[in-house]
Amino acid sequence: MRMYLAAAGAAAIFLAYITGVHIGNVRCDARIATATANQINQNTQIVEATNEIVFHTGVGDIRRILREKYTIAE
């Protein structure tokens, strides 16, 4: 009977360990996903701040600006 109790105790400890490892991995993945999302958000804000004119103009406006700046003067 003692063998069965010892085996059941060892199995319970082993399953608790496996469950703890799994929960740790899930929490780590969640932290990494949150950090990545925050970094993407910060990068988007930086790009929008530095390229505000490009973000808010159409293709026609960009072509007009480029023609004005980079045409060959006669």
pTM of the model: 0.55
Residue 38 pLDDT > 80: yes
List of residues 6+ apart from 57 with CB closer than 8 A:
65
Residue 55 binned pLDDT confidence (cut-offs 50, 70, 90)? low
- Specify the pLDDT at position 17: 97
Distance CA(29)–CA(23), nearest Å, equals: 10
